[in-house]
Chain A
Amino acid sequence: METKKKLSKEERERILKIVRQSATNYRETNSILDKILPEIPQSNSLINQ
């Protein structure tokens, strides 16, 4: 059976720091993508929620 490689606490902290920074970096881009990407039809978005 395949098992996930568990990261050390230090490695998890390092990754969290990177991901938090990345999320912050992407905030403006996400906001622009929200406006420029076509809306998903309402019926689909309700089904998928």
Chain B
Amino acid sequence: MQQYEYDFIDDETFSYFFKTTFQVFYKIEFKPTGYIFGEEYIWSHYCYEFSIKLSANSPKNTPFDPLVSITIASIFVDFFKNKQNIIIYTCDTSDGKHLVRVRKFDRWFNQFNHEKFLKIDNSIVDSKQNTTYYNSLIIRQDNPYKDEIVEAFEDLIGGFEEDK
């Protein structure tokens, strides 16, 4: 499948870069977030948030480019070459477009999943902010700590019930 070529910098934060035919520069970062589960778990050191950034001088209002999502999917697969890696994804709800956003993300994820990855979705109601946060855990099916990670995620997010 056609995609853009990308560069990779292996640092504390894993960074990938690519440029599109419309001269848009993308940076995909995977930043460690082991503190979410607590450093006592050996696998928490493989826990990351990802971010997609555009360089400041990237042109605005470029046409839809299907190769971008294919390239980012390929970067995801490359990031998961280490089968212990974990991604925690949070869907932004501040603009009220989260349901469409969740469906788009799910559809995209399923296009490159091919049963290789496990995604567990959960949500947290924040009554003080009057909002719901949608969170997903993504790991490889053959992650050696799979059961422990799933249990910890479900305990963490699923156990989140406010006092009645």
Contact = CB atoms under 8 A, between A and B. Distances in A.
A34 B101 contact: yes
Q: Which of B72, B90, B155 has the most CB of A within 10 A?
A: B90
29 contacts: A4-B159, A7-B159, A7-B160, A12-B160, A12-B162, A15-B156, A15-B157, A18-B35, A19-B124, A19-B135, A20-B133, A22-B49, A22-B135, A23-B90, A23-B93, A23-B133, A26-B49, A26-B89, A28-B53, A29-B51, A33-B101, A33-B104, A33-B108, A36-B68, A36-B72, A38-B66, A38-B69, A39-B104, A40-B103
| Interface range, A side | 20 to 34
Interface secondary structure of A, over-half rule: helix
Interface of A: 4-7, 9, 12, 15-16, 18-20, 22-23, 25-40, 45, 48-49
| Interface range, B side | 35 or more
Interface string B146-164: 0000000001111111110
Given A16-B124, A23-B90, A29-B50, 12 more contacts: A20-B133, A22-B133, A23-B92, A25-B90, A26-B92, A29-B51, A30-B101, A32-B53, A33-B101, A40-B103, A40-B104, A45-B100
Contact of B51 (A26, A34, A40): A26
A40 B100 contact: yes
Interface secondary structure of B, over-half rule: mixed
Contacts of B159: 4-7
Interface in B91-107: 91-94, 97, 99-101, 103-105, 107
